Amino acid sequence: MAQPADLLYSKEHEWVKVEGDVATIGITDYAQNSLGDIVYVELPKVGAHVAQMGTVGVVESVKAVSDLFTPIGGEVTEVNGELENDPALVNREPFAGGWMFKLRLSDASQTSGLLSAADYEQLTQE
Amino acid sequence: MTTQETAAKRTALYEEHVRLGARLIPFGGFDMPVQYSSILKEHEAVRHNAGLFDLSHMGQFILEGDGVAAWADELTINAVGTMKPMQARYNIFTAENGGALDDVIFYKLENRWLLVVNASNAEKMWAHLNANLKDGVKLTSLHGKNALIAIQGPKSVQVLAPHTDVDVNALKYYFCAEGTVYGKPAVIARTGYTGEDGFELFVDGADAAEIWNALLRDNADAGLIPAGLGARDVLRLEAGMPLYGHELNEEITPVQAGLQWAIKFNKPSFAGKDALQTQAQNDEYARIAGIVMDGRAPAREGYHVFLGDRKVGEIRSGSIAPSVQNKNIATALLEKDAAAPGTSVVVHIRGTAYGATVVPLPFYKRS
């Protein structure tokens, strides 16, 4: 699956879609493929203030528990409730229906450290 | 790199795993496939069609001599001497304190016995058997030389029957036969570790790839796919089968693991008999119980289990269970008063308490 060009990426395999002062965050196709069948996603609470690179939840596959980081800081405004009943949505549609949470950016300059689709593609090839 | 790592060994099927795109992990000293496509897909294939497993990492020892049965009966909890020709039997080697050294299967073949031990215990068991060796018992290791291929699932007979000279349809559960598969010599046993019908094929390592590839090629229509250790662990947990190091170890005895059915206290003596008998009689031991989580958070090994405010045990294995209404199931070593089916307990996960219910094992039984 190609990396959508309109998203930004972290080295920890999250993607970020910035629209105004709101960012939508999920994990990449590469990440979901590495994890395997995802069976549980624990997301931050709406209203929580999360710091850049803080642990905000977990993503669990059949075999493993992985921390979910946020590549940028802010206040959580919405979480993807669909994932509670259908965590495999992250496997099927990592860049679309499998989004995880949205937050209001606390500092828009934090996005400057994120990678472009091309740079992220490069990272996953290494 | 400053650390020294022992290179993992490869089974006779390593090249096939790589070619099939398997994800390999070190397990029991070997690079083994944890999954090929998806653990859940492979699990489904085994429950509904058939899956093909490479279990060549498991230790295979040959025992020969007139003294084998009496010798083995002294070292294990189950009866070896009463086994019929071509019978297979689950057994456990125990220490004097009743702790389990390994859980194994004995296969009584013509003029010899095949003993299959866990990969993780193969070296320990080789040392234990040699340290206790007696006249009249000859011990040989085929570990890493012989291969073991398992066919598991409701279509196992259909998958294997056309390619062997053994009447596998007539072969009884926990019996075996010597014959050929695709013309290659094999011990074929109706045993397994998934809760489904199936066969385990003990073959020469040199023949393994040919048999493996032929089975996959000729059974694509039956839905046979390669399945890895990830699926195997979910399958065995649903079927309530212990995994050494989790439900059974040197500290968790066969009595605690709920394996009393395999202990033959009527044997005159065996390693750990007194300790196990005392433990079974006083009945005040922590024991392995089944747990079903009320919610969606999976229970994992090491999580603490509470009855009210009191910690009563720990999770030993846990997984999502596609064959148990997709619930999260687990085994836990629980104090006696928390282990009765129906008991409501609490599992602590990352600082949060989640409700769960104790249930009888197994979680899944094939219809």
What is the ipTM score, two decimals? 0.91
| Percent of chain A clearing pLDDT 70 (strictly above) | 99
The whole-number pLDDT of residue A108 equals 87
The CA distance from A101 to A16, in Å, is 10
Q: Are B114 and B300 in contact (CB under 8 A)?
A: no
- Residues with Cβ within 8 Å of B283's Cβ and at least 6 positions away in sequence, in order, are B336
Give the residue from chain A lying closest to B231, CA to CA.
A62
With an 8 Å Cβ cutoff, are B39 and A37 in contact? yes
Q: ω before B26 within 30° of 0 (cis)?
A: no
The whole-number pLDDT of residue A2 equals 78
CA dihedral B320, B326, B332, B336 (to 10 degrees): 180
The residue among A15, A8, A4 whose CA lies nearest residue A99 is: A15
Determine contact: A84 vs chain B, CB below 8 A: yes
Determine contact: B297 vs chain A, CB below 8 A: yes
CA separation, residue B141 to residues B101, B214, B323 (Å): 18, 27, 37
The whole-number pLDDT of residue B3 equals 41
Give the residue from chain A lying closest to B34, CA to CA.
A63
Sorted by where each starts, the structural domains of chain B and their CATH numbers stand as 14-57+144-238 (3.30.1360.120), 286-359 (2.40.30.110)
Positive or negative: CA dihedral A119, A120, A121, A122: positive
The whole-number pLDDT of residue B6 equals 61
What tokens appear for A107 in the block? 């500092």
With an 8 Å Cβ cutoff, are B296 and A84 in contact? yes
**Which parts of chain B register pLDDT below 70?**
1-6
Nearest CA-CA distance, residue A13 and chain B, Å: 19
The whole-number pLDDT of residue B2 equals 39
Residues in chain B: 367
- Residues with Cβ within 8 Å of A19's Cβ and at least 6 positions away in sequence, in order, are none
The answer for B 30-59 residues in CB contact with A (under 8 A) is 34-35, 38-40
Burial class (CB in 10 A: 0-12, 13-18, 19+), B228: buried
Q: Tell me the angle at which helices B229-238 and B39-48 cross, rounded to the nearest 10 degrees.
A: 50
The whole-number pLDDT of residue B278 equals 98
What CATH code would you report for A9-109?
2.40.50.100
H or E segment at A122?
helix A117-125
The whole-number pLDDT of residue B8 equals 87
The whole-number pLDDT of residue B322 equals 98
B251-282 tens-digit pLDDT: 999 999 999 999 999 999 999 999 999 999 99
Residue among A40, A42, A62 whose CB faces B40 most closely: A62
Give me chain A's average pLDDT, please: 95
The whole-number pLDDT of residue B340 equals 98
The whole-number pLDDT of residue B5 equals 52
Averaged pLDDT for residues A32-47: 97
The whole-number pLDDT of residue A42 equals 97
CB atoms within 10 A of CB B66: 10
A102-124 tens-digit pLDDT: 999 999 899 999 999 999 999 99
Work out the widest C-alpha separation in chain A, in whole angstroms: 38
The CA distance from B184 to B206, in Å, is 10
The CA distance from B270 to B276, in Å, is 10
Specify the residue for token string 């095949």.
Answer: B114
Determine contact: A65 vs chain B, CB below 8 A: yes
Averaged pLDDT for residues A78-93: 97
The whole-number pLDDT of residue B229 equals 98
